[in-house]
Every structure is written in structure tokens, then in C-alpha cells.
Amino acid sequence: MSQPQFKPPYCDAIDYQQILDADTRTPPAVLRERSEPDLGTGAIPIEHYISPEFFKAQIEKVWMRTWQMACREEEIPNVGDFHVYNVVGKSLIIVRAAENEIKALYNSCLHRGRKLVTHDGCKEQFKCAFHGFVWKNDGTFLENPMAWDFPQCPAEKMRLPEAKVGTWGGFVFVNFDPNAKPLESTLGVIPRHFERWRPEDRYMSAHVQKRVKANWMACAEAFMESHHAITTHPQIMPFVTDANAQYDVFSDHVTRHISARGYQSPFVTDRVYTQDEIAEAMLAGGGRGSLMVNRASTKVPPGSTARAYVADLMRKALEAETGRDHSNASDAELGDSLVYNVFPNFSVWGGFIPGLVYRWLPDGKSHDSTIMEIRILRQAPENGPRPESAKLRFLGENEPWSSAPELGGLGAVVEQDWGNLPYVQEGLEASGTNMVQLGRYSEMRIRRQHLTLDAYMDGRI
């Protein structure tokens, strides 16, 4: 990267790279990479979060021009399967038109505009429910019951328009911009970094959505740094590095943060947790490790550490669950939060244990309402049938994230984040400065989001 790199001060606690030095296995080279451009300390205008006019302009300048994750390939496994992707008032039918071909057809009848489909399903043809115009599931026009009255609409002019489609790691991405650069230009380092972790070999063990009264960016940013743990998630402080997390900005679109497991937070200064206490906290719920091994109490073998011991439990649990050899999986890949974000609204966790995928979708054309989605991707067994993916659960207003059993203990953690979000939006609206301040290092991923947003809004990207 050509920009000047960040210079300390960092948090003075143990650094993530020092944690890797002490691990029992050599970590992959991608975890040794650092990219810390100095993005400065400028304040962020709250217009980005609270202005309906700004959001309206964003629809054309950002949402109609960026690559967005629409669904997983396993949601449309068979020819004719389709998923309806709704965003900012637009709608696409993401359809498997042939075994190896996925299309994104505009979900709007070319007669008088009715949506062709409103729910996911499987069809050979899309027949409009209003007057019966019919299209094949690859967008080819088939029939107009009143063809004699539409001399201006020969079949060749009636193909359903399409958005661009790209795939990576079992995810299907779409882009409304016909001139968009290929998906790879947005994903940057991601395919290389995820080569070992193979999200394409995973199935969804959870797929949960919930609406919140807050701007999509405010929601995304609640999941882009670790140092909110001290006040929002105090129960994870025995085993998580927060102020001393590592942050990377790889490109305009791709950022990462890494928070290690098995080391107590530097915010805890009044006591030193024993290795048994750390291991117990890691396995008792709330961490991804608890999705594989859940124990109320445990004993770390003499001479070992909670981090190495829990990593070993994960290695064994993964081998039992998948039949795949994980003897070379590093401790880091079996516990740490390796959180990658892709502008505008997609986030995917690396590593071998069950991984999280977040998406923050603006709720229709509202600047202050968001549908947040969490998926858990779990490794499929090496042999035998691929487990069926979880069906979408949409939580109602009074159903907390913790009421989705497929999220395990993570639901309660997300519920803690949720407790902030409506008040973040209300507080932004109530601002006396019309500005937001960001940490120079710990919040540089958030700063990058806003700089990239500005670049789209100004037409520089």
C-alpha cells in the first residue's frame, strides 16, 4: 500500500503478533500480514447516519454501484431455485438458470411492473400474477396472452434485464452497475486469505435476521472493533484481547480486525485469571468454541495454557465432526476472531471453527432502519452427504437474538450489542456537535468505511 503506515502509539499490552509467536503451531502467513495505513484523525459528519437526503443520494451512488452479498449458493442448489434479494427498494431474482449458471434478474414485470415473485422458491417459469406474461427462469420471454395488442414488444425485446453476478467461497454477490469492475477487484486479499479456510466447503448451521431502528453503518460499526467489550460484553474479558486487538486496512473495500482468545483483556487490572478460569470462560458459552465444546468447568493440563488447551479440544472436535485432519491448524485459527469486512455491508470470519457471517441491509429506503443478519458457517464432513443448511429465522420485535437456539451462546452476546444500537441512532440525532470522533488506530476500519463512502458519493470510485 502506498499510503504512509501507522506509527505507534499502540496499546502497550501484549501484541497479537507476540501472541502468535508463543502458539503451538506455526500460524498461516496471512495472519502475519499487517497493513496499517495512517488514515488520520478527522471527525466523521453525523450526516452519514442521520440524513434522509444523504441516504437517498447513497442509493444511486453506493447501493447501485457496489458488490453485495445476496445469498449462499446452497440456498439455490438446483436448477430453477431462486432467492429474492431486496435492497433499497430494488429487487432481484437470484436464480440458478443452469447447473453452473446463476443469474440476477430484475424482479419487475416488463408489462406494468408487478413484482414477478415475492418469496424464494423453485420455478421453470416466472408467470406474472397480474395479466399472465411469462418468462423462462433464465430471463427469456415466453408468452404474452395479448400479444396481438403489443406490436412494440417482440420477444427479443422482452428479455428480463439482469444485474451482474459474481461468486466466491459459496457466496453469491450481485452488482446493479452494468459497468462494475469484476467482483475480484472488490474482494482484494479475501480469496487468498481464505484459501485454507474454504468457506465453499461449509454449510449454514444458523441463518437469523432481525430489524433494528438504526442506520446500517452504525450497525456495521458496532461489530468492527473489540474495545467495546469492556462495557458491552464484560463477561468475555477473562479471555479476549480487546484494546490490544490488531487492525488492518488492506484496500478501500477490505479491512480486518483480529482479537485473540485465551489472554485476558488489558482492561482487567485488578486480578490475574488462572488458566483454568480462562479456559472455562472460553468454553462456557458466548464464544464460537462453545458451539463445538461446551463445558461448565475444565482443567488445563500442567505446563499448558488455556489457549493451547482449548485449541486442542477444537482440533479433536473438528476432526470428530468432519473427518478432516486438523493437526496443522494453528491455535489462532481455532479460536481467534479473524473478522474481515468488505464495503459496504458484508463481513466474514476466518479460521476453522464455526465462522460468523454478518450482513447489514438497509431496511427498504429507510436511513434509520436496518435488517441485520447473522449466519454461522460450519465445516461439512469430508465424506457423506452435506448437512442441510439452516432455514432463515426472522426474529420479531420482541424476540431477542438469544431466542434463536441455533446461535448458541452467541445470541446473548449479540443481544448485548443490540442494546446499544437504537440509542446510538437516537444519540446521533441528538448530537450537539454534528460530529463523531474515532480512535486513530483502533477505529481505523470504521474510518476507512467513511472515507470509502465519501469516495463513492463524490464519484472518485
- Residues of this chain that interact with ligand FES (CB under 6 A) are 109, 111-114, 128, 130-133
Residue 61 or 114 having the CB closest to ligand FES: 114
Q: Which of Fe ion, ligand FES, none binds 71 (CB below 5-8 Å, type-dependent)?
A: none
Written as nine digits, the cell of 38 is: 495512517
Measure the CA–CA gap between 91 and 88, rounded to whole angstroms. 8
| Amino acid letter for position 386 | R
CB of 208 to ligand FES, least distance (A): 34
Least Cβ distance, residue 64 to ligand FES (angstroms): 23
Q: How far is the CB of 86 from ligand FES (least distance, A)?
A: 18
Site string for Fe ion, 406-425 (x = CB under 5 A): -----------x--------
The residue among 135 and 273 lying less far from ligand FES, judged by its C-beta, is: 135
32 binds, among Fe ion, ligand FES, none (CB under 5 to 8 A by kind): none
* Among ligand FES, Fe ion, none, residue 133 binds (CB under 5-8 Å by kind): ligand FES
**Residue 136 binding result from Fe ion, ligand FES, none, given CB thresholds of 5 to 8 Å by partner type:** none
For ligand FES, the closer of residues 128 and 165 by Cβ is 128
CB nearer to Fe ion: pick between 417 and 454: 417
Q: Which of ligand FES, Fe ion, none does 417 bind, CB closer than 5 to 8 A by kind?
A: Fe ion
Rounded least distance, CB 228 to Fe ion, Å: 6
- Is the Cβ of residue 161 or residue 234 nearer to ligand FES in the bound state? 161
**Vertex 61: Cα angle to 55 and 65 (nearest 5):** 125
Burial of 345 (0-12, 13-18, 19+ CB in 10 A): buried
Given ligand FES, Fe ion, none, residue 56, with its beta carbon under 5 to 8 Å by kind, binds none
CB of 151 to ligand FES, least distance (A): 17
For ligand FES, give the closer residue by CB, 114 or 213.
114
- Name which of ligand FES, Fe ion, none residue 109 binds, using a CB cut-off of 5 to 8 Å depending on partner kind: ligand FES
User: Closest CB to ligand FES among 141 and 176?
Assistant: 141
Residue 212: phi, psi to the nearest 5? -140, 150
CB of 102 to ligand FES, least distance (A): 24
Is 186 or 259 the residue whose CB approaches Fe ion more closely?
259
Size of interface with Fe ion, in residues (CB under 5 A): 1
How do strand 68-72 and strand 121-122 relate by DSSP bridges?
unpaired
Nearer to ligand FES, 108 or 244 (CB): 108
Report in angstroms how near the CB of residue 154 gets to ligand FES at its nearest.
16
| Residue 65 binding partner per list ligand FES, Fe ion, none, with a CB distance cut-off of 5 to 8 Å that depends on partner kind | none
321 is a contact residue toward Fe ion (CB under 5 A): no
Q: Is 286 left (phi over 0), alpha (psi -120 to 50) or beta?
A: left
**Residues 51-70 contacting Fe ion, CB under 5 A:** none
Write the CB contacts of 195 (distance below 8 Å, at least 6 apart in sequence): none
In whole angstroms, how close is the CB of 229 to Fe ion at the nearest point? Answer: 7
Q: Are 368 and 50 in contact (CB under 8 A)?
A: yes
Shortest reach from residue 134's CB to ligand FES, in Å: 9
CA distance 407 to 354: 11
Residues 461 and 455: their CA atoms lie apart, in Å, by 6
Q: Which is nearer to ligand FES, 144 or 442 (CB)?
A: 144
User: Taking the complex as a whole, how short is the minimal distance between the CB of residue 417 and Fe ion, in angstroms?
Assistant: 4
- The residue ranges that bind Fe ion (CB under 5 A) are 417
